[in-house]
Amino acid sequence: MVIELKSGKFLPEYAGKMNFYLAAVDDLLRHPEDAPTIGLILCKEKKQIVAEYALRNNAAPIGVSAYRLTERLPEAMQGSLPTAEQWEQRFGLEDGP
């Protein structure tokens, strides 16, 4: 899976760029037993009709979705992600840069 995170609204050219990424990943990284690579473009906002037109004739499996930022992690997810301290320990960052 290839995920691209965009800080603004969805633009049609993102579909072409994702198609390029999927072709490269399928050619260079995918194993024969793997399914085709899926692309997901996450944007701050998207207009459904623009996304539909951009992807209409594309054969690659690409999805577009909007995201929203929040100040706090939802309670249901709080126990499922590592804490900042756990990340620092895991990646050897506890002593700083």
> Domain-by-domain residue ranges, the chain?
2-70
CB 15 within 8 A of CB 62: yes
**Nearest C-alpha neighbor of 69 from the set 7, 12, 9, 11:** 7
Q: Do β-strands 62-66 and 39-43 pair in parallel, antiparallel, or remain unpaired?
A: parallel
pLDDT of residue 38: 96
Q: How far apart are CA 38 and CA 59, in angstroms?
A: 11
pLDDT of residue 94: 62
Q: How far apart are CA 29 and CA 17, in angstroms?
A: 18
What class is the 2-70 domain? alpha beta
For the segment 59-86, the average pLDDT, to the nearest whole number, is 86
Assess whether pLDDT exceeds 90 at residue 15. yes
CB 57 within 8 A of CB 81: no
pLDDT of residue 68: 87
Least confident of 6-20, 30-44, 74-88: 74-88
Assess whether pLDDT exceeds 60 at residue 20. yes
Compare 94 and 58 and report the one with higher pLDDT. Answer: 58
Tokens of 29: 């990284």
